[in-house]
Amino acid sequence: MSEAQGASGPRRIAYIEQDAAIGGAQVNLLGLLTHLDRRRYEPVVLLPCDGPLRERLEALGVEWRLVPRARLRSTSRFVLGRKLFDPLAVCWNLALFAPASARLAAALREVGAELAQTGALLPHLYGSPAARLAGIPSLWHLQDIVSPTLAGGLPRAALLAAAALPLRVVAVSRACAQPMAARYAGKLRVVPNGVDVDRFAPAVSRKALRQRLGLSEQDLVLGLFGRLATWKGHEAVLRAVAVLAPELPQLRLLLVGGSPYSGERRRRELEDLVAKLRLQGTVRFLGNRNDMPELFGALDLLVHASLQPEPFGLVVVEAMACGVPVLASCLGGPAEIIRAGHDGALVDPREPQALCAALRDLLLDRALRNRLGIAARQTVMRRFQLQSHVAAMQRVYSEILEAWT
């Protein structure tokens, strides 16, 4: 019997989620669950609410349970147009953590979990105490870079204070690990995310893909794929496109992604900017999509323009796997993925002139784009295959369960 197999079969792992929307962290979880060795590990996902993630789990045949968490209050409020820190909300939220952990501990016992994995800030903080109450070890999967200025620095301070709770901490990048590395010494592992290189592969017929989208072979197609969050840099890219459009009348920008946390308000803001910049004929909003590999195949270039350090940059790796050249933000994880000038390009999107110049250079040089795209696929095959990610995570599971018994 292997160290990762219990007396009665595979070891039961509970994945504690913060919400049921689909973002990069959830895409990574779904990839992990798809390739998890079910002879050794049996997953169950604990969701705080219903949503698209539940539907995807059911499609994979993965068990899920609904464990509602407390409705926390925002730790900031607006007074006379100014955003202010709200200490009363912090006190309210802290008072809810103990009963939330108790409910979650009961759920962990009910599903027979032997290991609890958390993948976001709030689950880290109430999930690890719940695991302790249930008598099982926990694993933090760090997929966020928690700003020292967020909510007055309290979330980051809480993560540091709770560093003793998880038995292991896995970070998706060195950028993600660095702020906490000193406190997690000895238990920290860096495991980059991975992509399915069979699903994300170079397009066989770009012409057909473009026809489906109403694009021509002569169009120069730029893509910005990701949530419509303010820090993702959509405004910076739109303004750069407005500068380039007169010189490149065939330029088209595809915006893929929704705004799950701000409804349609964020999209309307961007649509207003498109109108102000007179880019209605250049920019298309495609919303959330399930055909990402096909969309990548229609691109000449993907731009990633996060204005804050990106924890990893899964969309960057997905595009590279499809052989699409990428111009990515130099902040955070993408700088660990791309070797500038070899398999992609990096830029600081907070500098408008640099972003515009980098886009122009790549859009005007087909030979350079082709060379970067070929090298990008090779980089993913060597460093970011999903099977390698899953194998590394399973080694951590085995390490935890062996140390706990």
pLDDT tens digits, the chain, 405 residues: what are they?
Answer: 345 555 568 999 999 999 898 888 899 999 999 999 999 999 999 999 999 999 999 999 999 999 987 776 665 666 666 666 666 766 766 677 788 889 999 999 999 999 999 999 889 988 999 999 999 999 999 999 877 766 667 778 888 888 889 999 999 999 999 888 888 878 999 999 999 999 999 988 888 899 999 999 999 999 999 999 999 999 999 999 999 999 999 999 999 998 766 558 899 999 999 999 999 999 999 998 889 999 999 999 999 999 999 999 999 999 999 999 999 999 999 999 999 999 999 999 999 999 999 999 999 999 999 999 999 999 999 999 999 999 999 999 999 999 997
Distance from C-alpha of 267 to C-alpha of 273, rounded to nearest angstrom: 10
Distance from C-alpha of 254 to C-alpha of 221, rounded to nearest angstrom: 7
Distance from C-alpha of 388 to C-alpha of 321, rounded to nearest angstrom: 14
Q: Which residue has the tokens 């020292």?
A: 148
Instruction: Check if the beta carbon of residue 240 is closer than 8 Å to that of residue 270.
Output: no
> How many residues in total does the chain contain?
405
pTM of the model: 0.90
Distance from C-alpha of 106 to C-alpha of 214, rounded to nearest angstrom: 53
Beta-strand relationship, 115-118 and 138-142? parallel
pLDDT at 180: 80
pLDDT at 290: 86
Instruction: Check if the beta carbon of residue 10 is closer than 8 Å to that of residue 366.
Output: no
The string of DSSP codes covering 177-228 is HGGGTTTTTTTEEE----B-TTTS---S-HHHHHHHTT--TT-EEEEEES--
CA angle 246, 252, 256 (to 5 degrees): 140
Nearest by Cα to 395 from 185, 178, 168: 168
**Who's near 257: CB < 8 A, 6+ residues apart?**
225, 226, 227, 228, 287, 288
Beta-strand relationship, 168-171 and 326-329? unpaired
Distance from C-alpha of 246 to C-alpha of 193, rounded to nearest angstrom: 39
The SS3 of residue 163 is: coil
Nearest by Cα to 257 from 220, 232, 282: 232
Q: Is residue 122 within a helix (H) or strand (E), and if so which, with residue range?
A: helix 121-134
Distance from C-alpha of 334 to C-alpha of 346, rounded to nearest angstrom: 8
Nearest by Cα to 139 from 163, 118, 109, 114: 118
Based on its alpha-carbon atoms, the radius of gyration of the chain, rounded to whole angstroms, reads 22
Distance from C-alpha of 116 to C-alpha of 138, rounded to nearest angstrom: 5
The string of DSSP codes covering 226-253 is S---GGG-HHHHHHHHHHHTTT-TTEEE
Write down all domains in the chain, each with its CATH number in brackets.
5-194+385-404 (3.40.50.2000), 206-383 (3.40.50.2000)
The SS3 of residue 156 is: helix
pLDDT at 72: 66
Instruction: Check if the beta carbon of residue 188 is closer than 8 Å to that of residue 141.
Output: no
Q: Which two tokens stand for residue 158?
A: 């809480």
The gap from C-alpha 384 to its chain's centroid, in whole angstroms, comes to 15
Nearest by Cα to 379 from 346, 336, 347: 336
